[in-house]
Structure 1
Amino acid sequence: MAGNSDPLTPRAKLAVTAGKAVAAASRAAGRGSGSVIGGRVALKLDPALLARLAQNLDVVLVSATNGKTTTTRLIAEALRAAGPVVSNALGANMPAGITSALAGGSDAKFGVIEVDEKYLAGVARDTAPKCIALLNLSRDQLDRAAETRMLAENWREGLAGSKAVVVANCDDPLVVWAASSSPNVIWVAAGQMWKDDAWSCPSCGGVMQRPGDDWFCGECGFRRPQPSWALSGDHVLDPHGSAWPIHLQLPGRANKANAASSAAVAAVFGVPPQVALERMYQVQAVAGRYDVVQFLNRDLRLLLAKNPAGWLETFSLIDPPPAPVILSVNARGADGTDTSWLWDVDYTRLTGHPIFVIGDRKLDLAVRLEVANQHFQVCEDLDQAVQLCPPGRIEVIANYTAFQDLRRRVGN
């Protein structure tokens, strides 16, 4: 921990040691990183361990439906300009995984933590964060969190009166409503492509008006706050009106939005926008996302899209037709077992692309593509799909567990 005092009790030290041992055994057995099982064991031995590990850190929490892992990486890079950082960079974002990550950062000054939306209030209570970044809320894992407004309410209640500086996206009405219970909010105009989860007012249920980039409720007066930071094309505008260029190796508008929010967070800790944005250029890929890999003598770009909002952003950054596209969808526990969200995705955006369909739920996806009048082929697996693709770089879009399957197959 930063500082001279050692905040860990003998029991906490035992819990950390046991957790690391279990994680190492899990890795040796080939069962993944071991961070979740290690964290679970550590928390069983000392239920207050997360709070103890966080108490000497300046903690930043990052939560959203889309972009958490990437934004966590960008903030961590930016804050390294001001001191050592510990972070759950691999995306284990529930209390066990977070505890595991913090247990590995004994000399850190900052803890930059991605948090699953449903756990944000509890993790904020345990870690007393200095800053919380709230990016967006949309439908995802329908069997687990079907109602986005309930999540927003959970945030609103959990963050009420929080001492943290909340950096929130003013273009998402659900995020604004959730953040408005906090006394200290910095608003960022980060944009919102997907609007289908915010047509009714979260405050009163009235119909939301959306002229241009603005929004307001005609019935109760709930409206978009004035931002102090904004994404403007390829620049971040700071509260003084200065425009700072964004240079990222990560593609797409969504990642520029993530960079704008990350620059606002970095500024809370005294890291100036120019320094923060220059450091963000170091991030090339995030847990395999956006990686271009060689497989069967072809270049595959791996793209993660877990829900309708994510698919919409991903379609905006793929190569133009006739670039071949492989789509893979599973519906395992981590994805959500309800695939009805496929009907909310506008697959007509793939018109002109040769499409190849794989994954556990390839037939569900095939029906959806048929209705969208798309030309596609259903394939047995990635190998067959790649062999059927015409020449050129292949865009591979997959949801969560399908993406993990792909990474294992291509050795990434």
Structure 2
Amino acid sequence: MAGNSDPLSPRAKLAVTAGKAVAAASRAAGRGSGSVIGGRVALKLDPDLLGRLAQNLDVVLVSATNGKTTTTRLIAEALGAAGPVVSNALGANMPAGITSALAGGSDAKFGVIEVDEKYLAGVARDTSPKCIALLNLSRDQLDRAAETRMLAENWREGLAGSKAVIVANCDDPLVVWAASSSQNVIWVAAGQMWKDDAWSCPSCGGVMQRPGDDWFCGECGFRRPTASWALSGDHVLDPHGSAWPIHLQLPGRANKANAASSAAVAAVFGVPPQVALERMYQVQAVAGRYDVVQFQNRDLRLLLAKNPAGWLETFSLIDPPPAPVILSVNARGADGTDTSWLWDVDYTRLTGHPIFVIGDRKLDLAVRLEVANQHFQVCENLDQAVQTCPPGRIEVIANYTAFQDLRRRVGN
């Protein structure tokens, strides 16, 4: 690894400076954080900039369909015990956003980077990571991301020669298949609530057998590997069999699973589970997710759910009926323009909740709820929905751009 004394080349310095200037101008114009446009400009000036910025860092990459932003944040907190960390904490997870984030971390020892699933192989090639965390793969943005097995194959081929330690969820057959091409894999039993993308064997196409929490292919023998780390209730079990309590301010089983994977990653860098898990307690919200905000004299809890697997996990978090629920769905470029995934979500789990529907595609969602025999009301916007809600804390569940709209409206 190059030493920290290695200066960036004049071209790289120019690219970083120009990128920061463009990002600052974008922020001043009220067009968001500017990280993506700044990164794009920097990469135009120096196409190798991402690799140059990463060469002095111990890099961790985190990729998954669900949970990567939160897990990136938990790993960053944990590794902070061993040195300064730079991270793309706001979730700009394609090469331009990643480049922009690393350009801001000149004193960092660790780079903890969330990577969009489609870009993982390329970013891994550019940044020579020490560790890669793979959490899950499920259907998402059907018009953009292609079929899940194709993504798994992309990972499998892209990671085949990597020297990185792969920390992978052994409960997701697609992740196991993708990680199995790597030399050095640490398996974590993190669970898999959504199984509808893993009924056929990714290796041979045979039917997957799923007795209890186990899985295997009856045709080719592809099977669940033995975990060395595991989530067990409210504890993480380490490879020595010791149980470490998980104390999180973030809700739900999915976040405990994220913490278990994060503890396994931290251990790769010598941070003990107790220290890692204690540091994770600091995280109260991640880019606005799980925040409880005051709006029109009501408490609103903001929850992000972008695809069927995410909605299933989110329904398990919400207050019991009759807590009112506002659902907001858009289908803009960043969400994926295909809303057919709404039909894969089990909305009968909302029975007993008063439901209020907003967002660009509120009518798509209304048809889906009608078929699921749910009682709901379509509203024009958040203000109207909140005014119509019965008393009590309101659970607000939104997909990606709908969530950004909500945060702007409530001033979060």
Do the two structures share a fold, i.e. TM-score over 0.5? yes
Deviations 1:63-87 (A, max 9, x none): 0000000000000000000000000
Distance 1:397 1:22 in 2: 33
2:2·2:55 contact (CA, 8 Å) conserved in 1? no
Deviation at 1:4, TM superposition (A): 4.0
Structure 1 residues 339 and 4 mapped into 2: Cα distance closer, same or farther (>3 Å)?
closer
Secondary structure, counterpart of 2:397 in structure 1: strand
Distance 1:302 1:145 in 2: 26
Distance 2:334 2:234 in 1: 34
1:7·1:52 contact (CA, 8 Å) conserved in 2? no
2:143·2:336 contact (CA, 8 Å) conserved in 1? yes
Secondary structure, counterpart of 1:81 in structure 2: coil
Deviations 1:222-271 (A, max 9, x none): 00000000000000000000000000000000000000000000000000
Deviation at 1:51, TM superposition (A): 0.2
Structure 2 gap ranges (5+): none
Q: Aligned ranges for residues 9-408 of structure 1 at < 5 Å?
A: 9-408=9-408
Deviation at 1:3, TM superposition (A): 4.0
Deviation at 1:7, TM superposition (A): 3.8
Deviations 1:284-325 (A, max 9, x none): 000000000000000000000000000000000100000000
Distance 1:356 1:400 in 2: 18
Deviation at 1:40, TM superposition (A): 0.2
Distance 2:214 2:126 in 1: 36
Secondary structure, counterpart of 1:33 in structure 2: coil
Structure 1 residues 167 and 349 mapped into 2: Cα distance closer, same or farther (>3 Å)?
same
Query: Is 184-193 or 140-149 further displaced after alignment?
Result: 140-149
Deviation at 1:146, TM superposition (A): 3.1
Deviations 1:137-177 (A, max 9, x none): 00000101230000000000000021000000000000000
Deviation at 1:6, TM superposition (A): 2.4
1:130·1:163 contact (CA, 8 Å) conserved in 2? yes
Secondary structure, counterpart of 1:50 in structure 2: helix
Deviation at 1:91, TM superposition (A): 0.2
Aligned length: 412
Secondary structure, counterpart of 1:175 in structure 2: helix
1:328·1:399 contact (CA, 8 Å) conserved in 2? yes
Distance 1:155 1:230 in 2: 23
1:2·1:107 contact (CA, 8 Å) conserved in 2? no
Secondary structure, counterpart of 1:11 in structure 2: helix
Deviation at 1:5, TM superposition (A): 1.9
TM-score if structure 2 supplies the norm length? 0.99
TM-score if structure 1 supplies the norm length? 0.99
Distance 2:364 2:152 in 1: 30
Secondary structure, counterpart of 1:188 in structure 2: strand
1:342·1:365 contact (CA, 8 Å) conserved in 2? yes
Deviation at 1:39, TM superposition (A): 0.2
Runs of 4+ in 1 over 3 A off after TM superposition: 1-4
1:2·1:108 contact (CA, 8 Å) conserved in 2? no
2:4·2:56 contact (CA, 8 Å) conserved in 1? no
Distance 1:400 1:4 in 2: 37
1:2·1:106 contact (CA, 8 Å) conserved in 2? no
Deviations 1:346-385 (A, max 9, x none): 0000000000000000000000000000000000000000
Secondary structure, counterpart of 2:186 in structure 1: strand
Deviation at 1:2, TM superposition (A): 8.8
Distance 1:53 1:335 in 2: 30
Structure 1 residues 4 and 137 mapped into 2: Cα distance closer, same or farther (>3 Å)?
closer
Distance 1:408 1:296 in 2: 14
Structure 1 gap ranges (5+): none
1:61·1:112 contact (CA, 8 Å) conserved in 2? yes
